[in-house]
Amino acid sequence: MGRLRVADRLRVVSLVAVVFVTAFDGLALSTLVPQIAVDLHLGGLYGAFTAAYALAQLFGALFVYGRVRSALPLGAALFCLGAAGCAVSPTALCLVCARCVQGVGGGLAVGGVYASIDRDVDEGDRPVVFAVLASVWVVPSIIGPGLAQLVMVAWSWRALFLVTAVVAAACAALLARASQPGERTSSALPLGTRVVLMTVGAISVATAPFAGRGPVAVVLALVTLTGLVLIYRAFTLVRPVPVPGTPVRTLATPLLCRGVAQALYGGAEGAGAWYVHGIRPGATFLVVTTGACVWAAASWAQSRDALRSWVIRNGLAVGLLPVVSVAAFTSAVLLGGTDAKILSLCACTTAAGAFVGVVEPIISSALFSQRAPESSTALPVVIQVDDLLVPGVVVAVLGTAMGSAATHALLALLAGLGLLALVTWTASGGLTRHWLHHTTEGQRRADGDAGG
């Protein structure tokens, strides 16, 4: 792994800690959402709560590039404040608002991590760095859901938010100590684009509780479509390196594939946890842990270069994983036995986790190899918006459907995501194959120069 110019060991630890605490929060909380909904009577706010964190991160992500080094500790501090607010929230509305604050902090902190990687890590080492950061999810995926279940049984789900707040406070202190103020980066995103994208996220959160209720469902669909169009327009701010025979639009398709992969995994995990809670509450952590462990294992394998060539050369086999995930969830709904349903849901999250774990590091590295040096500020923010907006809107709709027990809506949405994931991954083959050839040739030249 390449050295980070500005990061001594303390800074490296703090960057990894930021990813760890956000991963732990997401994985641990997914097993508790059904119980939180019962305790605070979320009702129509179920969808807003499940989507508030992801969509609120857009606010932090889009403004992270003013002062990256001060954004990191500030983001961790806001994350801590939001988690503490969730722990003491007396009503469902207060909980959603506190979750939004936590999301803004997470967007600032994780956005700062992306910017640090782009600025301080050599291009040849970025695939390993992306995969290693993704594999930081290994420990949270193993201990997160089970620990959350134990904490809830022993005390309350509020105690989990308190633990998260304490860890985030420690991250904020580490980041503040490791930060070197004064370095600024220029943003390639105009302020108007930021405001519009944030407005779309805010409207999506506001309309999520009413999805499926007459004309408002049409409004939410239009808002979602507008958000996707805006993301596509944001792609034009990233000036790709010209590639002979490769059209510029190939930059948009992999970004859409990343977003869909994240949305598919989030949807499979959320729907699986909700469905299992209804038939056997104690088994929710099993469904979540299975998918997360597979995701982390696939990412780790990518960091060791164990799967990269095989994945790109056997793209259709990888593209069938979303189809397997949807089929497994459908089987869980149709099968009669409780144990069979749980096994099918584990298979659903396993296939979705394998897909996103394999695809995400490859596409991220391919995208960074395609962009011109002067667009280095734009691409990380576009990638993070891609990670947040598409999955956030999907989770908002899923949350509303889960709150109203509309299983047919979950099936339809997951089926659509599975098909879109297959199509976008297949369409991304040209870019990823070119990137593999480019990196392989570059490594050969470097080895030749070293030997000479």
Q: What pLDDT is recorded for position 406?
A: 61
Q: What pLDDT is recorded for position 177?
A: 62
Q: Set out the domains of the chain in order of their start, with CATH numbers.
A: 1-185 (1.20.1250.20), 189-443 (1.20.1250)
Report the percent of the chain where pLDDT is more than 70: 44
Read off the pLDDT of residues 74-101 as tens digits, 9 standing for 90 and up: 777 788 888 888 787 777 777 777 887 8
For 185, list phi and psi in degrees, rounded to 5. Answer: -125, 145
Cα(436)–Cα(120) distance, integer angstroms: 22
345-383 exposure pattern, b = at least 16 Cβ within 10 A, e = fewer: bbbbbbbbbbbbbbbbbbbbbbbbbbbeeebbbbbbbbb
Q: What pLDDT is recorded for position 421?
A: 80
Q: What pLDDT is recorded for position 156?
A: 74
Cα(146)–Cα(194) distance, integer angstroms: 38
Q: What pLDDT is recorded for position 40?
A: 74
* Alpha helix stretches (DSSP H) within 304-337: 308-313, 315-334
Q: What pLDDT is recorded for position 151?
A: 73
Report field, pTM of the whole predicted structure over 0.85:
no
Q: Which residues of the chain have pLDDT under 70?
A: 1-13, 27, 30-31, 34, 42-48, 50-51, 54-71, 114-146, 149, 174-252, 277, 281-282, 285, 302-314, 336, 365-409, 429-452
Could you tell me which of 50, 35, 179 has the C-alpha nearest to residue 103?
50
DSSP 211-222: TTSTHHHHHHHH
* 30 residue type, one letter: S
